[in-house]
Chains A and B, each alone.
Chain A
Amino acid sequence: MEPIRNYVNEEVKNQPPIVDVPKRVKKRKKKKTWVPGLLLLTPILLFVFGFFIVPMLYILYLSFIVTDDVGATDAVYSFQNYIQFFTDSYYLSSLWITVKISLYTVGLCLFLAYPVALTMAKSSPRVRGYIALLIASPLLVSIVVRNFGWYLLLLPNGTINQLLIDLGLITAPLELLFSEIGVIIGLSNAYLPFMILAIATSLYNIDPSLEKASAILGASPLRNFFSVTLPLSLPGIVSGCVLVFSLSMSSYVTPALMGGANVPMMPVVAYDQINNLLRWTFGSAISYVLLATTLITVIAVTRGFELSKFKEVFR
């Protein structure tokens, strides 16, 4: 076999090229094809540039200007807005509250999501579909409606307080609404589906024979979970946590309705600066502090895991 193949190859190689068709056709084809594609893309690209990228860059530029009148000619470029933010204890504490509440939300979501994701991974595709429908559908109902449901449950004379009083567990109603607890409940309720779907996706990808192998080698179900399933689902856990964290950091409606003035999270403060006090340049700076804090945390956590002893799992 060997010599024959060599012979054929040699023969083909030695033949003079008939025409160098492939190269030319490829080149011409490529040039021809992406021009109409670009035409189809033009409307959406112009739209997204004009109404997304430019406005975002415009407020970044504004955040470095100190003046209350945006159109004024005496605009001075400086870091004053950022300095004001980081030297005023009110804004610093607002940043801290935002991070703290977001972390609590992530923790609660993780605790509630993992069992659901595990159940989905162990179920048949049909049951999986039903669970996915149940948990994802509320995402398509307006957040104000979901918050109103929590109003009914958490009010001082609401369902939960009434139930606890009737059971004799408490004597006076708990301050559930307009408190940090209320905001954490509202946020975790809103973002729990994202955490479940993120973890479930990573659990689906685990090779079932790995768990079988560890069971055959004598690992107890608990050991199996902590040494095989949990580490292998880390990518889903990390992406779920990162997503819930960034959504919680920048959420406005839930803190405004469930926390009100008692829980001044960053988005509430930024909204107040822009819409009520009309301090646009300072509000722009708060927006970018919020974006930067979220981004830095997310990158640090993701990179941290990618460099940790679990780096193999993250590929």
Chain B
Amino acid sequence: MKYLGKIRLGVAVISIIYILIPLIVIIPASFTSANYPSFPAQGFSFQWYTMLLDRPEFIEALWNSVKFAVLAAFFSVLFGTLGALALAKYDIPGKSYITSILTAPLSVPQLVLGIALLIYFTPMMLSGTSTGFLIAHTVICIPYVIRLVLTGLSGFDYNLERAAAILGAGPATVFWKVTLPLIRPAIISGGLFAFLTSFDNVTISLFMVSSDMRTLPIEIFSQMQDSYNPLVASVSSVVIFISVILIVILEKLQGVGKAFGGSH
């Protein structure tokens, strides 16, 4: 009977390694001195990082990714926080239906949503434009913001708002000095989650990009389909680096596991 616990622990360790291994092999592979990607790497050099600087399409793609992720996070946080505040605070009829409509983009496959938006945007002259791209990314970020801010508001004490109002604060002062500071961690987590959702996205982006506007995941995707050189390893390492920084912040604020747990 003692073996059972050991077998369980053994499989558990294997599973966790299985989840992490594709990310673990990339970083050493990016320092290879050979001209093909491999793990374990052959030799050690920074050549694929210095070469990256000579490839304007990657720099441009990285800039696009960051820019659209920031904008998508901004708009989804703006709309999402207002919406979540309304849902948490007011007795709106059909509240549960509204919440499920607002989080529905999460349960529709991104491929189907991408197809729908491409077809819908084309007659509106929005397909392949920055506006279309931004709208599509905001749609998929909104559910996360709604959910995280609603969770943040679930323990909110409305007496604090009432107290401030009684003491003579106007509605705007109450919002900026009381409500906002209290739900700030939830809003920041929502924003970071939205940023990463947009920054990482491939499926929706594939339908929205044009030849002169591409993002980093799209660049990696097409490089992998054509030929795979170690450049992809160094670009991927950069993506991992950016993600890890944001994950550390998210973990401090909210707990990454919590953000996914109870979801879906």
Seen from chain A, the residues whose Cβ lies within 8 Å of a Cβ on chain B are 30, 33-34, 36-41, 43-45, 47-48, 51-56, 58-59, 62, 70-71, 111-113, 115-116, 118-119, 128-129, 131-153, 157-159, 189, 192-194, 196-198, 200-201, 220-222, 225, 239, 243, 246, 249-253, 256-257, 267, 270-271, 274-275, 280, 283-284, 287, 290-291, 294
Q: Is B119 an interface residue (CB 8 A)?
A: yes
Interface centre among A152, A198, A283 (most CB of B within 10 A): A152
Q: Is the CB of A252 within 8 A of B203?
A: yes
How many residue pairs at the A-B interface have CB separations less than 8 Å?
A: 300
Please, which residues of chain B bring their CB within 8 A of the CB of A135?
A: 16, 19, 257
Q: Is the CB of A144 within 8 A of B217?
A: yes
Q: Is B220 an interface residue (CB 8 A)?
A: yes
A46 to B18, CA, bound (A): 42
**Distance to closest chain B CB from A301 (angstroms):** 15
Nearest residue in A to B230 (C-beta to C-beta)? Answer: A152
Nearest residue in B to A29 (C-beta to C-beta)? Answer: B91
A133 to B119, CA, bound (A): 38
12 A-B pairs with CB atoms under 8 Å apart are A38-B90, A45-B83, A45-B98, A47-B139, A52-B108, A71-B123, A143-B202, A148-B26, A149-B26, A256-B225, A257-B224, A284-B116
The interface stretch among B54-62, B160-168, B180-188, B233-241 is: B233-241
Q: Is the CB of A194 within 8 A of B264?
A: yes
Please, which residues of chain A bring their CB within 8 A of the CB of B217?
A: 142-145
Q: Is the CB of A56 within 8 A of B113?
A: yes
Nearest residue in B to A250 (C-beta to C-beta)? Answer: B109
A221 to B25, CA, bound (A): 38
A158 to B38, CA, bound (A): 7
A227 to B202, CA, bound (A): 44
Q: Is B253 an interface residue (CB 8 A)?
A: no
**Distance to closest chain A CB from B77 (angstroms):** 11
Nearest residue in B to A54 (C-beta to C-beta)? Answer: B120
Q: Is the CB of B39 within 8 A of A145?
A: no
Q: Is the CB of A55 within 8 A of B15?
A: no
Nearest residue in A to B121 (C-beta to C-beta)? Answer: A55
Given contacts A153-B39, A291-B112, contact A140 B225 (CB under 8 A): no
A225 to B221, CA, bound (A): 44
Q: Is B66 an interface residue (CB 8 A)?
A: no
Given contacts A119-B9, A275-B207, contact A44 B90 (CB under 8 A): no
Extra 8 A-B pairs, beta carbons < 8 Å, given A39-B86, A196-B15:
A37-B91, A44-B83, A52-B105, A137-B256, A142-B202, A144-B202, A149-B24, A201-B261
